[in-house]
Chain A
Protein backbone atom coordinates (compact mmCIF):
# COMPACT_ATOMS: atom_id res chain seq x y z
CA UNK A 1 0.00 0.00 0.00
CA UNK A 2 1.49 3.35 -1.01
CA UNK A 3 1.88 5.88 1.76
CA UNK A 4 1.15 9.57 1.94
CA UNK A 5 3.17 11.39 -0.69
CA UNK A 6 4.38 14.95 -0.24
CA UNK A 7 6.41 17.28 -2.43
CA UNK A 8 8.74 18.98 -2.45
CA UNK A 9 10.85 17.50 0.36
CA UNK A 10 12.76 20.73 0.88
CA UNK A 11 12.13 24.36 0.00
CA UNK A 12 14.11 27.52 0.70
CA UNK A 13 12.47 30.87 -0.01
CA UNK A 14 12.96 34.49 0.95
CA UNK A 15 10.53 36.21 3.27
CA UNK A 16 7.52 37.73 1.55
CA UNK A 17 7.70 35.16 -1.24
CA UNK A 18 4.96 32.59 -1.75
CA UNK A 19 5.25 28.80 -1.60
CA UNK A 20 2.99 25.81 -2.15
CA UNK A 21 3.12 22.26 -0.88
CA UNK A 22 1.39 19.27 -2.37
CA UNK A 23 0.00 16.16 -0.71
CA UNK A 24 -1.42 12.94 -2.13
CA UNK A 25 -3.11 10.89 0.61
CA UNK A 26 -3.46 7.14 0.79
CA UNK A 27 -6.01 5.96 -1.73
CA UNK A 28 -9.49 5.85 -0.29
CA UNK A 29 -8.72 7.97 2.74
CA UNK A 30 -11.47 10.51 3.21
CA UNK A 31 -9.79 12.61 5.89
CA UNK A 32 -6.70 14.72 5.24
CA UNK A 33 -4.72 16.83 7.71
CA UNK A 34 -1.98 19.43 7.42
CA UNK A 35 0.29 19.89 10.43
CA UNK A 36 3.07 22.39 11.08
CA UNK A 37 6.07 21.15 13.08
CA UNK A 38 8.46 23.86 14.25
CA UNK A 39 11.91 22.66 15.30
CA UNK A 40 11.85 21.30 18.83
CA UNK A 41 8.07 21.13 19.04
CA UNK A 42 5.33 18.65 18.35
CA UNK A 43 3.20 18.94 15.22
CA UNK A 44 0.34 21.44 15.34
CA UNK A 45 -2.83 20.88 13.36
CA UNK A 46 -3.41 23.59 10.75
CA UNK A 47 -6.40 22.26 8.85
CA UNK A 48 -8.48 19.11 8.49
CA UNK A 49 -10.52 18.09 5.44
CA UNK A 50 -13.26 15.51 5.24
CA UNK A 51 -13.44 14.67 1.54
CA UNK A 52 -13.25 18.16 -0.01
CA UNK A 53 -14.86 20.04 2.89
CA UNK A 54 -13.06 21.78 5.74
CA UNK A 55 -13.76 20.26 9.18
CA UNK A 56 -11.40 22.35 11.29
CA UNK A 57 -9.19 25.30 10.32
CA UNK A 58 -9.22 27.08 13.65
CA UNK A 59 -5.40 27.18 13.91
CA UNK A 60 -4.73 28.15 10.30
CA UNK A 61 -3.34 31.73 9.98
CA UNK A 62 -5.85 32.64 7.33
CA UNK A 63 -4.27 35.99 6.51
CA UNK A 64 -1.36 34.18 4.85
CA UNK A 65 -2.14 30.44 4.72
CA UNK A 66 -4.66 28.76 2.47
CA UNK A 67 -5.42 25.16 1.63
CA UNK A 68 -7.66 23.32 -0.73
CA UNK A 69 -8.56 19.76 -1.49
CA UNK A 70 -10.11 19.60 -4.90
CA UNK A 71 -12.14 16.50 -5.76
CA UNK A 72 -11.51 15.15 -2.27
CA UNK A 73 -8.14 13.62 -3.11
CA UNK A 74 -4.93 15.69 -3.46
CA UNK A 75 -4.41 18.80 -1.40
CA UNK A 76 -2.25 21.90 -1.61
CA UNK A 77 -1.18 24.20 1.21
CA UNK A 78 -0.05 27.69 0.27
CA UNK A 79 1.73 30.42 2.20
CA UNK A 80 1.63 33.96 0.83
CA UNK A 81 3.56 35.96 1.89
CA UNK A 82 5.96 33.85 3.96
CA UNK A 83 7.46 35.07 7.21
CA UNK A 84 10.62 33.91 8.97
CA UNK A 85 8.53 32.20 11.65
CA UNK A 86 6.94 29.95 9.00
CA UNK A 87 10.17 27.95 8.85
CA UNK A 88 9.06 24.47 9.82
CA UNK A 89 8.28 20.99 8.54
CA UNK A 90 4.83 20.75 7.02
CA UNK A 91 3.34 17.32 7.47
CA UNK A 92 0.40 15.89 5.61
CA UNK A 93 -1.54 12.98 7.07
CA UNK A 94 -4.58 10.99 6.06
CA UNK A 95 -7.00 8.62 7.72
CA UNK A 96 -9.67 6.33 6.38
CA UNK A 97 -12.50 8.38 7.80
CA UNK A 98 -13.09 10.97 10.45
CA UNK A 99 -14.52 10.62 13.90
CA UNK A 100 -12.55 10.30 17.12
CA UNK A 101 -12.26 6.53 16.96
CA UNK A 102 -11.02 6.59 13.41
CA UNK A 103 -8.12 8.93 13.75
CA UNK A 104 -5.33 6.47 13.01
CA UNK A 105 -3.55 8.94 10.84
CA UNK A 106 -0.75 7.99 8.45
CA UNK A 107 1.86 10.69 7.94
CA UNK A 108 3.95 11.68 4.96
CA UNK A 109 7.65 12.49 5.28
CA UNK A 110 6.96 16.20 5.26
CA UNK A 111 8.24 19.28 3.47
CA UNK A 112 10.98 21.19 5.26
CA UNK A 113 10.53 24.92 4.61
CA UNK A 114 13.26 27.42 5.36
CA UNK A 115 12.40 31.11 5.08
CA UNK A 116 15.44 33.40 4.89
Chain B
Protein backbone atom coordinates (compact mmCIF):
# COMPACT_ATOMS: atom_id res chain seq x y z
CA UNK B 1 0.00 0.00 0.00
CA UNK B 2 1.13 3.53 -0.68
CA UNK B 3 2.14 5.99 2.05
CA UNK B 4 3.33 9.58 2.43
CA UNK B 5 5.66 10.99 5.05
CA UNK B 6 5.96 14.67 5.83
CA UNK B 7 8.86 14.81 8.31
CA UNK B 8 8.22 18.35 9.55
CA UNK B 9 5.13 18.92 11.68
CA UNK B 10 5.80 22.65 12.02
CA UNK B 11 8.00 25.03 10.04
CA UNK B 12 8.58 28.69 10.82
CA UNK B 13 9.83 31.00 8.08
CA UNK B 14 10.34 34.74 7.98
CA UNK B 15 8.28 36.70 5.49
CA UNK B 16 10.24 37.10 2.27
CA UNK B 17 12.45 34.08 2.95
CA UNK B 18 12.50 30.95 0.84
CA UNK B 19 10.55 27.84 1.76
CA UNK B 20 10.97 24.11 1.27
CA UNK B 21 8.50 21.55 2.62
CA UNK B 22 9.57 17.94 2.50
CA UNK B 23 7.54 14.99 1.29
CA UNK B 24 8.60 11.36 0.89
CA UNK B 25 6.35 8.76 -0.62
CA UNK B 26 6.24 4.99 -0.80
CA UNK B 27 4.71 3.38 -3.87
CA UNK B 28 5.91 0.56 -6.06
CA UNK B 29 5.04 1.98 -9.45
CA UNK B 30 5.05 5.49 -10.92
CA UNK B 31 3.36 7.69 -8.36
CA UNK B 32 0.92 10.47 -9.08
CA UNK B 33 1.75 13.19 -6.56
CA UNK B 34 -0.05 16.25 -5.28
CA UNK B 35 0.36 19.15 -2.91
CA UNK B 36 -2.71 20.66 -1.26
CA UNK B 37 -3.02 23.67 1.04
CA UNK B 38 -5.62 24.05 3.79
CA UNK B 39 -6.27 27.42 5.38
CA UNK B 40 -8.21 27.65 8.67
CA UNK B 41 -11.88 26.90 8.10
CA UNK B 42 -11.31 26.27 4.41
CA UNK B 43 -11.35 23.21 2.25
CA UNK B 44 -8.28 21.76 0.62
CA UNK B 45 -7.00 23.59 -2.44
CA UNK B 46 -4.78 21.96 -5.03
CA UNK B 47 -1.42 23.72 -5.43
CA UNK B 48 0.16 21.45 -8.04
CA UNK B 49 0.37 17.88 -9.29
CA UNK B 50 2.85 15.55 -10.96
CA UNK B 51 1.84 12.76 -13.30
CA UNK B 52 4.79 12.36 -15.66
CA UNK B 53 7.25 14.32 -17.80
CA UNK B 54 9.19 17.30 -16.49
CA UNK B 55 10.13 16.59 -12.90
CA UNK B 56 9.90 20.28 -11.93
CA UNK B 57 6.25 21.22 -11.64
CA UNK B 58 4.88 24.73 -11.41
CA UNK B 59 1.76 25.44 -9.42
CA UNK B 60 -0.43 28.26 -8.27
CA UNK B 61 0.56 31.05 -5.89
CA UNK B 62 4.22 30.87 -6.95
CA UNK B 63 4.81 27.34 -5.66
CA UNK B 64 6.82 24.64 -7.41
CA UNK B 65 7.76 21.07 -6.59
CA UNK B 66 10.43 18.71 -7.80
CA UNK B 67 9.93 14.97 -8.22
CA UNK B 68 13.04 12.92 -7.46
CA UNK B 69 12.46 9.24 -8.09
CA UNK B 70 15.85 8.21 -6.64
CA UNK B 71 14.97 9.84 -3.32
CA UNK B 72 11.23 9.05 -3.40
CA UNK B 73 10.65 12.72 -2.73
CA UNK B 74 8.35 15.47 -3.94
CA UNK B 75 9.41 18.61 -2.07
CA UNK B 76 7.47 21.85 -2.31
CA UNK B 77 9.31 25.14 -2.69
CA UNK B 78 8.62 28.85 -2.89
CA UNK B 79 11.34 31.49 -3.36
CA UNK B 80 9.71 34.15 -1.19
CA UNK B 81 6.87 33.53 1.23
CA UNK B 82 4.07 35.96 2.07
CA UNK B 83 2.15 36.18 5.33
CA UNK B 84 -0.89 34.80 3.47
CA UNK B 85 0.99 31.53 2.89
CA UNK B 86 0.53 30.55 6.53
CA UNK B 87 -1.55 27.37 6.40
CA UNK B 88 -1.40 23.59 6.59
CA UNK B 89 0.24 21.87 3.64
CA UNK B 90 -0.47 18.30 2.64
CA UNK B 91 1.40 16.05 0.26
CA UNK B 92 -0.63 13.22 -1.28
CA UNK B 93 -0.18 10.26 -3.59
CA UNK B 94 -2.61 8.26 -5.69
CA UNK B 95 -1.92 4.57 -5.56
CA UNK B 96 -3.70 1.64 -7.13
CA UNK B 97 -7.17 3.02 -6.54
CA UNK B 98 -8.21 6.54 -7.32
CA UNK B 99 -8.41 7.99 -3.84
CA UNK B 100 -5.68 10.16 -2.36
CA UNK B 101 -3.41 9.02 0.45
CA UNK B 102 -2.33 12.08 2.42
CA UNK B 103 0.61 12.79 4.69
CA UNK B 104 -0.02 14.20 8.16
CA UNK B 105 0.67 17.72 7.00
CA UNK B 106 3.14 20.49 7.75
CA UNK B 107 1.97 23.58 9.59
CA UNK B 108 3.61 26.67 8.12
CA UNK B 109 4.08 29.70 10.36
CA UNK B 110 5.21 33.01 8.86
CA UNK B 111 7.16 35.40 11.07
CA UNK B 112 6.94 39.12 10.27
Residues of A within 8 A of B (CB): 3-4, 31, 33, 35, 40-45, 48, 55-56, 91, 93, 95, 98-110
Contacts and interface: CB of A to CB of B under 8 A. Distances in A.
B21 interface: no
Interface in B41-94: 41-46, 49, 51, 90, 92, 94
Contact of B49 (A48, A99, A104, A108): A104
Contacts of B19: none
A16 B87 CA distance: 34
B57 to A, nearest CB: 13
A99 B90 CA distance: 21
B28 interface: no
A48 B94 CA distance: 13
Interface of B: 4, 32, 36, 41-46, 49, 51, 90, 92, 94, 97-105
Contacts of B92: 42
Given A109-B42, A109-B43, A101 B99 contact: no
Contacts of A33: 99-100
Nearest to B96: A100
B97 A48 contact: yes
Contact of A110 (B43, B101, B102): B43
Contacts of B36: 107
B100 A103 contact: yes
Given A4-B43, A42-B92, 14 more contacts: A41-B105, A42-B104, A43-B100, A48-B99, A55-B98, A56-B98, A56-B99, A100-B32, A101-B51, A102-B98, A103-B94, A103-B98, A103-B99, A107-B45
Nearest to B9: A40
A45 B44 CA distance: 14
